[in-house]
Amino acid sequence: MECLTKANMKASIKANIKSSIKAMIKSIALMMTVLLLSCSKNTTPYVWNIPNDFPLPIIPKDNPMTEEKVALGEQLFFDFRLSANQVQACSSCHIPEFAFAQPTKTSVGSTGKALKRNALSLVNVAYNGTLTWAHSGLTKLEDQIRLPLFNEFPIEMGVTGNDAQILARLDSYKSDFKRVFGSEEINFDLIIKALAAYVRSLTFFDSAFDRYAYQMDDEALTEQQIQGLDLFFSERFECFHCHGGFNFSQSSKHAFQTLDLIPFHNTGLYSLDEIGSYANDDQGLGDISLRDTDRGKFRAPTLRNIALTAPYMHDGSVATLSEVVELYSQGGRGAGKTNPNKSIFVKGFDASDEEKAALVAFLEGLSDEVFVSGKFSKH
């Protein structure tokens, strides 16, 4: 043992402390780097396809948007293995080239059972006040997506009772789930979150109308379409009352406006009895609220891309846009004209054939370039 003098000892202790502090700092720094790297999910914040001055949709805090989550959701959206019998994917009834709607009156489930309603377009649904044709209680995509997956009456994707069987097929997604959600575990809560993120990403605001109205391009709409535009926004036709706003649907919400606008309207399609019952045992909002005065009330969906999503109305019972315009000019259809629950805005109007044609032409100008150009036609 060295014989240390007092001074020597002090110096040596100081030196020891210094070097051990240095070592400590080094190891802490290393630890922190490792921690930070392992905590980060290695994801990229999502970049929205929305014009600069347009508002963002409302995003739930528990399902933030990332590029990777949207990409994962896209894969799942087109994956037939998500249905129990592997015969159907989300894209079967929400077909991209038809603005994510379907050119049939009503849809059919994976086991062949018919649904009562027409598949809605998924474009810009991120802005929807409520979801589906008539449900005042469905306001969140993550809640709504459970329906086509788990529904039993009728069976749509047929997940109920087959959860484990379906999940067992999805091993190939393990690394994607690890990257997006931080764990290789795949479950339906996360599948739905990814699907919701993808559906939220389907925002399109590049139609001829947008170029005319927002980009000030006077050549974007024809004279006829401009005539139709004026009629659309007139008090005589009153289309804008239910199909107004940047999304051509009164039922919209966005980040700057969270007022609860969830109106449903009866447009006089049917009236089977004195309380205004609609056909096909489908009373719309009435079946949710269980109130007779809500019989036949449905949500006014977006008119964007409407030329691509025939046939029309909740049951696909109106085949063309011309027939739709005719219906509104008559104030309803057949007995539906006297439906006791009919909206006051559907009172009919006088219009020449030229004016009706102009309105249809304007509606055709609401189709987004991405569909018009055929970018979505193959998948």
Partner 1 sequence: MPLRILTVLMMFLVLACSEYKKTAIPESATTNIRLSFSIMHDQQIVKCNQSTQSLSFQAISNTNHLIDIESFAFYLHDVHLFANSTQAEIELSMQPSSWQTDDIALIAFDAACNSQASSAELNANTELHLTTQNEAFKHLVKRHAKSSDDLELRFTLGIPFESNHVNPLTQTSPLNISSMFWSWRNGYKFMRLDMKSSHEVSHQGMSLHLGSVGCQSASHVRAPKQACEQSNLVDVRIPIKLNEFASQHSKVTIPINFDLSTLLRSVPFSQQNSCMFLGLSQQEVCTQFINTLSSQPVFVSQVNDLNMQQGQP
Nearest distance from residue 309's CB to partner 1, in Å?
23
CA distances from 310 to 101, 102, 314, 321, 323 (A): 9, 8, 11, 8, 11
With respect to partner 1, which residue has the nearer C-beta, 185 or 217? 185
With respect to partner 1, which residue has the nearer C-beta, 6 or 256? 256
Contacts of 120 (CB under 8 A, 6+ apart): 101, 132, 133, 301
Q: Do 45 and 240 meet the contact criterion of CB atoms below 8 Å apart?
A: no
With respect to partner 1, which residue has the nearer C-beta, 193 or 342? 193
Nearest distance from residue 207's CB to partner 1, in Å?
29
Q: Quote the CA–CA distance of 179 and 342 in Å, as a whole number.
A: 51
Residue among 204, 179, 304 at smallest CA distance from 249: 304
With respect to partner 1, which residue has the nearer C-beta, 98 or 150? 150
Nearest distance from residue 332's CB to partner 1, in Å?
21
Nearest distance from residue 196's CB to partner 1, in Å?
12
Nearest distance from residue 216's CB to partner 1, in Å?
36
Q: Which two tokens stand for residue 343?
A: 């909206």
With respect to partner 1, which residue has the nearer C-beta, 271 or 289? 289
What are the phi and psi torsion angles at 298 (to 5°)? -130, 160
With respect to partner 1, which residue has the nearer C-beta, 192 or 321? 192
Q: Do 192 and 142 meet the contact criterion of CB atoms below 8 Å apart?
A: yes
- Residues near partner 1 (CB under 8 A) are 60-61, 135-140, 142-143, 146-147, 149-153, 159-161, 163-165, 187-189, 192, 277, 281-283, 286-290, 292, 295
Nearest distance from residue 258's CB to partner 1, in Å?
8
Distance between first and last Cα of the chain: 80
